[in-house]
Amino acid sequence: MKAQRLIILSLASVVIVSCARQISNQQLTTNSATADAATTIASTDNTSAPSSKASDKTTIKSGTFVSGEQTTQGTVRITQKEDGSFIELDQSFKTSTSGPDLVIVLHRSDNVIGSTKPPAYSLKRGDYIVIAPLKKYNGAQDYLIPNNINLAAYNSVAIWCRQFNATFGAASLSS
């Protein structure tokens, strides 16, 4: 009889502690999302169709994605066009559909995956700037970079799950 009460009391304690942790994690996620929203420079409206004329753009930097938390592949370019600077993901771009709240970010490090810790490859606030939510999980797509961004300060492009602070993949940029 005492053993049965002890087991019930133990199970109730585990449930209470789990609920408290979940509430605490939700508060941290909410606070983090609020802070990240303040650093988000652009919205979903800053995507643009690829230019039909190759001569209309100049490639400033480019790189190839390396997988982090999820398999991510393809090539990324920072280009200058008449209407501004863009992050361009090529037709071979592909990342996992398993993450909510995926965004494309510019990161200060030239080795995002190597400078973070697995399994999530989490990013530190202040090391990146959110450009826009990821429009689609594969294929060619463009993202307008706001004019006030100093491109020289950023050395990588990453696909990041903002909700779980997990980097799906990153590409080191070079001229």
Q: Which amino acid is at 166?
A: A
Residue-level pLDDT at 23? 43
In the chain, domain spans: 44-172
By percentage, how much of the chain surpasses pLDDT 70? 69
Residue-level pLDDT at 12? 54
For 39, half-sphere exposure in the C-beta direction (CA atoms, 13 angstrom radius) is 18
Residue-level pLDDT at 119? 87
Residue-level pLDDT at 111? 93
Residue-level pLDDT at 5? 63
Q: Which residues of the chain have pLDDT under 70?
A: 1-55
